[in-house]
Structure 1
């Protein structure tokens, strides 16, 4: 299944979904530092910079397609309880979180088999009804679940809202073992998370600069810290991808 990875950041979605058997068809990220990471880690994948300029026609012109899945952690700043800018929480109507509409626009024209999204739990009280309404308007059902990084055994809570959407009546809506896609994914995380947690402990032991112990100012690490803070947890995307692939294979059979 070929995935269009929007708001790609440093590529967490693509890392996780590729582990589950997906193929990254294209990436889209506007910030300079993450774009440099993506160019290094995904050198053969087409990288767009502005989601507002990505269209089905442009993808076809660039030889990209078909698109079976859209994934993205669209901006959370206007929905986050951590927003202390003084402008208030504008939610889905904000300039940044409102970029959700670009996901809906692309989904309406590309008609992917599945859409996987990530945002902060604050979105639930900051315009989530519009997200569900937009999906319903273009013919998609949705399920959603708050899944923390702790579920994968990682040493930080990091609660995030995960959404899986698929065309109404799609085989992806079927329950497997009495569980939906996101329920299946969360149930699988303890096993998948063992490797992720081990990798984190290894990284934490080596990167003293993250804590300033080696005398390097944390400010010098700020672009990397910001990129990590904005990234999704890849193992959760992997678990969701595996649950999707399981149902996709069942439907094909």
Structure 2
């Protein structure tokens, strides 16, 4: 019995009833040769015999985890294992099938404030391995914002003219100059720190006119003139 269809060089004398024990997985061929008293020889080779055992349970571990995602990896079979038909079944209540030779999985369905347990098993043509060790992932709850920071900067001078922390989702912004473009920024704050900032641009209204310089009243009309406002467009 060999791993090749090619006729072997060395032969053993067979008994009328012969048993052969094979301990290794793989593809095997049975070779038989008979010689009569006249010296005529006949040789036959069997079809492929595929020997595969039930898989060994993988060892599962957590590579990384954050608020919504966890990455897992598990051990692959040894180099002598026949991996034809192999795949893996990962479960946390839901079942995910992963084809060999992949040995990692990223779960992106996690939610804060929950605990998840995972196991994996290997499956092949013969059957299923035992379930692996259990790994646990606890996702801390994501705290909501407790306050907000509002910052206003003059877009031209980049001078900060307003900076305030408020508890509500609205806030008056004071000390702005008329007819001026400002960058308004808002960020959320909780006990873990301050989040990313969102920005918007805002152009304040122009100043009021400085006063009338001319007034002429006609029978049906009034002519007016006033001081120009530098921050007004029209």
The question of a shared fold, defined as TM-score above 0.5 by the shorter chain, is answered with: no
Question: Between Structure 1 and Structure 2, whose CA radius of gyration is higher?
Answer: 2
What range describes the TM-score normalised by the shorter chain of this pair?
Answer: under 0.3
Normalised by the length of structure 2, the TM-score is 0.17
Flag the structure with higher strand content. 2
With CA pairs under 8 Å and 6+ residues apart, which has the higher RCO, 1 or 2? 1
Normalised by the length of structure 1, the TM-score is 0.16
